[in-house]
Amino acid sequence: MNVATSQFRSSEISAFGGMMDAMGGVATAVLAIVALTGTNPQLLEGVATIVFGGTLLVQGGTLVSEYSQLTASTSQLSAVQTTAEALSGDGLAALFPVGLAGIVLGILALLGVSMTVLAPVALIAFGAALMLSSQSVRRLYSLQAAARQAAEPHLMREYLSSELASGSAGLQFISGVAAAVLGIIAVSEVNYAALTLVGLLIVGLTLIVSGGALSGLVLSFARGGAQAS
């Protein structure tokens, strides 16, 4: 019972991290939209870059927490090996340095240090991080869905939840590509401000979807496990 309760609380913390991702996405998107209307675009662009960088740090921590919980809660060696591969075999680790870099670049942009270059470079890094980490997100959803479906194979809710989550991982990859392309074009200083803001809007909206999907799947997984206990 104590183990189940501990796992449930851990999942609630991870779900809270997913909601923080979504809130960070909302803040980034709102800042980008306001800036696109012409209201202090340079200031809001820098602030949105800082906010999104911080949100990537939260997302990285949330994903690591979920992978760690799955590893601790399973006794099957194959599942442990899959989790280890997820942590080391793709771009999950990129979220942390990119998040920190985004915060630093955003601060420098606010100080007026090469804003025409730093903000687009941060956007390129954000897009690359989303592309690289999308495989980790998809793998996490698959592990959680497989565990829940093994416990309750006839529960249609879990199937639909896993499908939605997998779709959000695919959306994350596509949005990462779009953001990186917009950042590359913006570096050439061809209407850099508008392109960078549009890119920030795209990645912000993506985190709203992926953060909400992660929270829903994590809480569903945790509650099902607690009830089974």
Check pLDDT > 50 for residue 60.
yes
Task: Render pLDDT for 65-82 as a digit per residue (tens, 0 to 9).
Answer: 777 766 555 544 354 445
Q: How far is 170 from 11, CA to CA, in rounded Å?
A: 23
Task: Render pLDDT for 78-100 as a digit per residue (tens, 0 to 9).
Answer: 544 454 555 544 567 788 999 99
Give residue 119's Cα distance to chain centre: 19
pTM: 0.77
Q: What's the N-to-C CA distance of the chain in angstroms?
A: 7
Q: Indicate the residue type of 154.
A: H
> Taking residues 3-12, what's their average pLDDT?
46
Q: How far is 175 from 180, CA to CA, in rounded Å?
A: 9
Q: How far is 113 from 106, CA to CA, in rounded Å?
A: 10
Task: Render pLDDT for 191-201 as a digit per residue (tens, 0 to 9).
Answer: 888 999 999 99
Q: Indicate the residue type of 7.
A: Q
The residue among 121, 151, 124, 141 whose CA lies nearest residue 227 is 151
